[in-house]
Amino acid sequence: GAPRIGVAMPEARQFALGGWAAVLLGVAWRGGLRSLLSTLLLGAAPAVVLATYFSDVLAPVTGLYSKDQVKTMKKKATDLERSKTTKIFDGGESMDWLNCLVKQLWPHITKYVEEKIRGYEDMIQGCLPVVGSSLHFSSCSLGKKHIEFGPVVSRLVKASYDGKVIENNGVALDIDVCYYSDVDIVLSSPVASVGIADLKIQGTLTINFRPLLDESPFVGGVEILFANPPDVDLDFKGIGNIADMPGIYSAVRNVIRDAIGGIMVSPNRKAFAISGDPKVDLAYLRNPPPAGLVRVTVVKAENLEAADLHYDLTKSSDPFVEVMVGCRRWRTPTIQKNCNPVWTEKNVHDFYFYHMMQWVQVDVLDEDKFSSADSLGRIHRTSVEELLQQSADGPVSFPLKQRSPKDSVPPADARLFLCFELIHEVPLTAANLEVGTDRYSLNFKIDECDGLPLASLNAPFTVRITVGGDAERSLSTKKGWAKYAPGMVLADLKRYAKLLEDGVEPKMIAEVLGVEKGAIEAFAAARLHSSSQDVKFQNWISKIEAERVQNEISTNPQFEEVLRLTIPERGISAVVELLSSQKKPAVVGRFEVEIGMTETIEGPFVIMDPSTGQPLSNGHGCDAKLHGTFTLFGLAR
């Protein structure tokens, strides 16, 4: 798209920019391109800092917003978003008892957290050059305003147990969370400072207790998540005020929201198995079965704003549609120079959803080649349940609304036509399989890898699956982690030290006390005496535990995840890759599976070296394997 038409440039700003351009042209003419680039680089940073610190004075010249205007716009944007925030359920019970407890604990919590934050000063200074060695937290306060909880609503949910899905075998608590913090954290140096002045988080936190068991502790696991992205807002201090400028501010908010979404927004969650029951599978706590799929079809748009001015003086837009459910995003292709676009290709997408009250958010955007996409309107957050009801008889026409106060208001007759359909996963034997773009749902459960080489592959690893060579049908796990193992305790080490001093062989100690021989030999090599200071024993424990964790992550990483994606047909190949944790991840292992006519393909799967085509090996005659299962479902209305 061409540059967006905005408010006429102030005359003072025109003269200022004209003079600036003349100076740059003069420098380029006299000194060449290198001098011009140097001038730009040296002048850009001071110019931005001056424009930020003196934005109120320079606003008439720069054409930028003043600090007061920025704060006013941010408040309007926050209030607008908050007014559109829909709770999962109305009503609920008060949690005043918890808020009273948090209020009393808050001074102690803030003191603990502030000390932890200040403890990072040495690490920050050590990671920076000499010029950064004076960095310190000049201010570090979480403020006096505490997190507030409530109301809370409970409901029954299904759960996975012993490989089966059981209805109403869990309890979910939906808790409204509100944190309007007067936080004040500033990192300072002799040159500049940067910090956060305020932080606001509002959303509905869901805590699932499932499956329900007949033995203590009566609950198999706990999951903590946001079914919908929470509203997040923050103010910056010092040179961080640059991030408050229009354009940068929205980008910073999006980065923060995406970071939260990648950890805590459905389908992502924090999950813990607490019962020890082997029939409770952590993979299905972290990635539970979905409630279904919502099929979104983008049909057409009408009377969109003409946001671009082209070189022939005609106006139009280059629209595309972006849909978001939970933390998952999808977009249509862009249709060039058309304010009444009709989408006929790649305009259908299936989203897994986990609750009927999950929101669907739809944006119509104008694609620009040299800047971020401009908003042409938004269909604000609406629940899956409501959209399915509205689309019961076919495509629905939705009026487009203003995305935020800083965006232009769409024409009154601007509309987007969408269709929403409910799709279910069904066994392959079902007769009424869906006939559409995607007919099947592939579930790839990854438990662990073993037999990997100890070094040289740059652990920790992630696992990526790509179906049919299509990058759009590709998903990755989170980084692998080390299997839990009880660590050594101080009393045991002193006991080992005493036995070694009495001349007992490490092999005998290991056999009698049931300890790994290698651990005893490593402890003997450390030459610690039973009379040594406790801190020396603790340091040795920390060192050994760090080595154990690194070895486990390298040779036997745990994943416990289920990756789900829709596919168009059977008889399609799936490539599974093991990726390193380098800045630019490299493929260190791979294997291929044919997704055919069988419903389930059981592992383990031998991991091949991509450079030689031979199995990866740990050097002891054991091939590296990935333990997991592929399960194929049909899709049906």
Query: What's the angle, vertex CA 53, arms to CA 49 and CA 58, rounded to 5?
Result: 95
Q: Is the pLDDT of residue 243 over 70?
A: no
Cβ-based neighbours of 372, under 8 Å, separated by 6 or more: 247, 251
What are the CA-CA distances from residue 539 to residues 326, 371, 499, 557 (Å)?
Answer: 43, 52, 20, 25
127 and 267 in a single domain? The answer is: yes
**Hey, how many other C-beta atoms are within 10 angstroms of the C-beta on 282?**
17
Q: Which domain holds residue 531?
A: 490-551
Span of 399-403, 449-453, 597-601 with lowest mean pLDDT: 597-601
Q: Is the peptide bond before 506 cis (omega within 30 degrees of 0)?
A: no
In this structure, is residue 81 part of a structural domain?
no
Give per-residue pLDDT as tens, 439-452.
899 999 999 999 88
579 and 459 in a single domain? The answer is: yes
Measured between alpha carbons, how far is 80 from 406 in angstroms, rounded to an integer? 11
User: How many domains, in total, are found in the chain?
Assistant: 4
Encoded tokens for 128: 């920076």
- Mean pLDDT score of the chain, rounded to an integer? 80
623 and 476 in a single domain? The answer is: yes
Measured between alpha carbons, how far is 151 from 260 in angstroms, rounded to an integer? 22
Cβ-based neighbours of 269, under 8 Å, separated by 6 or more: 223, 224, 225, 286
Structural contact between residues 460 and 476, judged by C-beta atoms closer than 8 angstroms: no
In this structure, is residue 53 part of a structural domain?
yes
Span of 290-299, 395-404, 478-487, 575-584 with lowest mean pLDDT: 478-487
Structural contact between residues 106 and 143, judged by C-beta atoms closer than 8 angstroms: no
Measured between alpha carbons, how far is 443 from 425 in angstroms, rounded to an integer? 11
Strand, helix or coil for residue 511: helix
Cβ-based neighbours of 494, under 8 Å, separated by 6 or more: 530, 537
In this structure, is residue 23 part of a structural domain?
no
546 and 586 in a single domain? The answer is: no
Q: Give the amino acid at 220.
A: G
In this structure, is residue 16 part of a structural domain?
no
Strand, helix or coil for residue 67: helix
Over range 98-104, report the average pLDDT.
Answer: 92
In this structure, is residue 530 part of a structural domain?
yes
233 and 336 in a single domain? The answer is: no
Q: Is the pLDDT of residue 346 over 80?
A: yes
Structural contact between residues 221 and 282, judged by C-beta atoms closer than 8 angstroms: yes
- Residue 553 — φ and ψ, nearest 5°? -65, -35
Structural contact between residues 553 and 480, judged by C-beta atoms closer than 8 angstroms: yes
Over range 494-503, report the average pLDDT.
Answer: 81
Over range 415-420, report the average pLDDT.
Answer: 95
Taking the CA atoms of residue 384, residue 385, residue 390 and residue 393 in that order, the dihedral angle to the nearest 10 degrees is 100
528 and 632 in a single domain? The answer is: no
In this structure, is residue 78 part of a structural domain?
no
Instruction: Name the percent of the chain lying above pLDDT 70.
Output: 76
138 vs 280, residue with greater confidence:
280
Q: Which of 287, 308, 330 is the endpoint of a domain?
A: 287
Strand intervals (E) in 213-277: 219-226, 231-238, 270-273
> Domain with 338 in it: what CATH number?
2.60.40.150
Give per-residue pLDDT as tens, 150-166.
899 999 999 999 989 99
User: Shortest CA distance to 364 belongs to which of 407, 395, 400?
Assistant: 400
In this structure, is residue 418 part of a structural domain?
yes
Strand, helix or coil for residue 100: helix
Angle (deg, nearest 10), helices 534-555 and 490-501: 100
Strand, helix or coil for residue 275: coil
125 and 267 in a single domain? The answer is: yes
Q: Which of 287, 315, 345 is the endpoint of a domain?
A: 287
Strand, helix or coil for residue 269: coil
Highest mean pLDDT among 87-101, 119-133, 372-386: 372-386
| Bridge partners of residue 321, in order along the sequence | 364
User: pLDDT class for 408, splitting at 50, 70, 90?
Assistant: confident
User: Shortest CA distance to 374 belongs to which of 323, 310, 304, 301?
Assistant: 304
148 and 59 in a single domain? The answer is: yes
User: pLDDT class for 1, splitting at 50, 70, 90?
Assistant: very low
| Bridge partners of residue 626, in order along the sequence | 449, 605
In this structure, is residue 20 part of a structural domain?
no
Q: Which of 237, 270, 287 is the endpoint of a domain?
A: 287
450 and 546 in a single domain? The answer is: no
Measure CA 353 to chain center: 17
Give the per-residue pLDDT at 139. Answer: 77
User: Shortest CA distance to 547 belongs to which of 567, 527, 573, 523?
Assistant: 523
Measured between alpha carbons, how far is 56 from 44 in angstroms, rounded to an integer? 19
| Residue 76 DSSP one-character state | H
Question: Roughly how many angstroms between the first and final C-alpha of the chain, as a whole number?
Answer: 39
58 and 140 in a single domain? The answer is: yes
Encoded tokens for 300: 């057409």
Residue with the two structure tokens 């002045």: 197
Give the DSSP H/E element, type plus range, for residue 513.
helix 506-513
| Residue 288 DSSP one-character state | P
Q: Is the pLDDT of residue 191 over 80?
A: no
Strand 462-467 to strand 572-579: parallel, antiparallel, or no bridges (unpaired)? antiparallel
270 and 302 in a single domain? The answer is: no
Q: Give the amino acid at 565.
A: L
Q: Give the amino acid at 395.
A: P
475 and 564 in a single domain? The answer is: yes
How long a stretch of residues is the chain?
A: 637
